[in-house]
Chains A and B, each alone.
Chain A
Amino acid sequence: MTLADILTSLFPGGHDVRNDDGVLSGSGALRSGGRALVVGIADRTAVGIDEAIRLSRYVLDSIASGSGPILVIVDSDSQRMSKRDELLGLNEFLAHLAKCLIYADIHGRPAIGILYGHSAAGGFLATALATRVLVGLPGADPVVMDLPSMSKVTKLSIDILEEKAKSTPVFAPGLQNLAQTGAVHLTWDEATPLADQLEALLDDLPDARDRRDALGKERGGRLKAADIAERVHGLALQTR
């Protein structure tokens, strides 16, 4: 689906989402009433300091003046890899964006990620992964670590890596693997209007507690994380 198709299908009642050099902002009318803030990254744009600061501004302005859910629609590259971005503190800009989204989510503005294309590394962490619920659309293509780069570092051929990837979802790219580890909560069906699926999600929205580790365990993609976190949590709570 193209971005335009997605927005039309999400908001049959209309939207005013703009795409300025890959940075999405605007809002859409929800069928159940009210509007959703829309922010995001389109056209496989890298998330650099200039993109991140605009997105965090939209989110903060909306926290001050708006209500309703925040949709984070993503087809991004990784973080922008450049001297200028690192020189000026890209880690702070990306963290700030993630903080704004998570803060909003905790404070009554549920953040819902919609991954419809690519995303990777720091760009992924600052946007789609900083939400309460991450939805994948068919064709989404998240890559934490691409196999050619992995091949270079591990000195294993791509064939061998692909073979290994069959036994575990823990390192290889792709929507299915990320769903199994608990990063992607659900996948929507393109044949059904997205508005229906969005309303169904909003009607039955989980609370703000992070359950991605439990989901990864349930789906067999991340068997240890939830138990280890819970054990440390339990030990730490026994504080003198």
Chain B
Amino acid sequence: MSAGQTAKASPDRTGSWYEASARTRVRLLLDPGSFEEFIGPEQREISPHLKVFGLPEQFDDGIVVGRGLLDGAPVFVAAQEGRFMGGAFGEVHGAKLTGLLRAARDLKSISVLLLLDTGGVRLQEANAGELAIAEIMRAVIEARTAGVKVVGLIGGRSGCYGGGGLIAGCCSALAVSEQGRIAVSGPEVIETNRGVEEFDSRDRALVWRTMGGKHRRLLGGAELFSDDTVQGFRDAALDLLGSVADFGLDTLKAEQARLEDRLQRFGACPDAIDIWTAEGIADAASVPALPADQFIALADQVRRTSRDAR
């Protein structure tokens, strides 16, 4: 990086994270001009499986991986493009992330930011995608065991579903925006398999309050809630990188206790509103409509999310 670039004006980070492409998120999130991509689109490492189905390919297979600087500190970054194949994990897509995490594990000192935006496994290469997710989960745990912080940032179009939800659960910490739905089974999947009485996927309010970022923050499934801006996610990433604890057996024991406690306290609640009420929020029904700043203040008041139980 030359001196000329460090002198560059700071970029406009007020734009929507949700609306931005994976490349734009990476470019704006990191320090200006600092990003260096591994196996960029010019390498044309496309999926070998989509042509079997007559589907168009993307030169980066829907994920951007590389390194850059965040407030001067080196970080590895991976960003999924939620608009290409729903951000789903295929063979090449997944392998790029696996390789990045294994490098972080071996170097031990460089944190990883995962900009997740995914519907889960790419069904045209389902076996390869599922296995890629299993490899990524293992690589996240190996990296964390080696002392690496792996922070997930979730606020994209495709949310974070299927195996993506499990990868999110393996991270050291998560920041999520209201749009950043986190779940395993998506609304349509539940409805298709269990009927509309179990889950009405067209009831958007139900989807948001069951899987959306506000609920995940209030439940303790995400450490921080971010406004839907690049600046919001950048601030959250810096906060989390500075505060997450080491990973070890005590972390797992604390997580076991945290999840057992959640089941005991909220296991009989039929809806998110009931959980928020049980958490002591007086007007729980108003939560979905709260602006980000008011919600963050409320969330900090009712639940101080632990940073050492994940």
A residues with CB within 8 A of B? 49-50, 53, 56-57, 60, 63-64, 79, 81-96, 98-100, 102-103, 106-107, 121-122, 124-126, 129-130, 144-145, 149-150, 153-154, 156, 164, 167-172, 177-178, 181-183, 210, 212-213, 216, 221-233, 235-237, 239-240
- Interface stretch of the complex, out of B238-246, B268-276, B278-286, B297-305: B268-276
User: A residues within 8 A CB of B199?
Assistant: 82-83
- CB atoms of B123 and A153 under 8 A apart: yes
> Across the interface, which residues of B come within 8 angstroms of A177, CB to CB?
127
* Given contacts A92-B259, A106-B145, A237-B103, A122 and B184 within 8 Å (CB-CB): yes
Q: Is B58 part of the binding interface, using a Cβ–Cβ cutoff of 8 Å?
A: no
Distance from B260 Cβ to chain A, minimum over Cβ atoms (Å): 6
Verify B141–A60 contact, CB threshold 8 A.
no
Known interface pairs A91-B221, A171-B49, A171-B123; 17 further A-B residue pairs with C-beta atoms within 8 A, sorted by A's residue number: A53-B263, A79-B185, A96-B169, A102-B138, A122-B163, A144-B127, A145-B126, A164-B52, A164-B53, A171-B128, A178-B131, A213-B98, A216-B128, A216-B131, A228-B45, A229-B98, A233-B100
B contact residues vs A (CB 8 Å cutoff): 38-39, 45, 48-49, 52-53, 65, 67, 74, 76, 91-92, 94-96, 98-100, 102-104, 106-107, 110, 121, 123-135, 137-139, 141-142, 145, 162-163, 165-170, 182-185, 189-190, 193-194, 198-199, 210-211, 215-216, 219-221, 249, 252-253, 255-256, 259-260, 262-263, 266-267, 269-272, 275, 310
List, in ascending order, chain B residues with CB within 8 A of A172's CB: 127
CA distance A233 to B139 in the complex (A): 12
Per DSSP, are chain A's interface residues mostly helix, strand or loop, or mixed?
Answer: helix
| Contact of A181 with B39 at beta-carbon distance under 8 Å, contacts A98-B170, A213-B135 already known | no
Q: How far is the CB of B61 from chain A (nearest CB, A)?
A: 9
CB <8 Å contact, B137 and A183: no
Report whether B130 and A81 are in contact in the complex, using a CB–CB cutoff of 8 Å: no
B211 adjacent to A86 (CB under 8 Å): yes
Across the interface, name the chain A residue whose C-beta is closest to B260.
Answer: A53
Tell whether, in the assembled complex, residue A86 and residue B190 are in contact, meaning their CB atoms are under 8 Å apart: yes
Q: Is the beta-carbon distance between B138 and A94 smaller than 8 angstroms? A: no
Tell me if B48 and A60 are in contact (CB < 8 A). Answer: no
Interchain Cβ contacts under 8 Å between A and B, 19 examples: A57-B256, A60-B256, A64-B249, A81-B193, A83-B198, A87-B269, A88-B262, A106-B142, A122-B163, A125-B137, A130-B138, A170-B128, A171-B124, A213-B95, A225-B132, A228-B96, A232-B95, A235-B38, A239-B67
B259 & A96 in contact (Cβ 8 Å cutoff): yes
Q: Which residue of A lies closest to B139 (CB)?
A: A210
Task: State whether A122 and B162 are in contact (beta carbons under 8 Å apart), knowing that A96-B256, A154-B124, A229-B99 are contacts in the complex.
Answer: yes
CA distance A102 to B221 in the complex (A): 21
Q: A87-B275, A129-B134 are in contact. Are A103 and B266 (CB under 8 A)?
A: no
Contact between B137 and A237, CB atoms less than 8 A apart: no
A-B pairs, 10 with minimum CB distance: A95-B169, A232-B99, A91-B165, A236-B103, A145-B126, A229-B99, A228-B95, A129-B134, A144-B126, A225-B95
Instruction: Tell whether A212 pairs with B135 under 8 Å between CB atoms, given A153-B123, A225-B92.
Output: yes
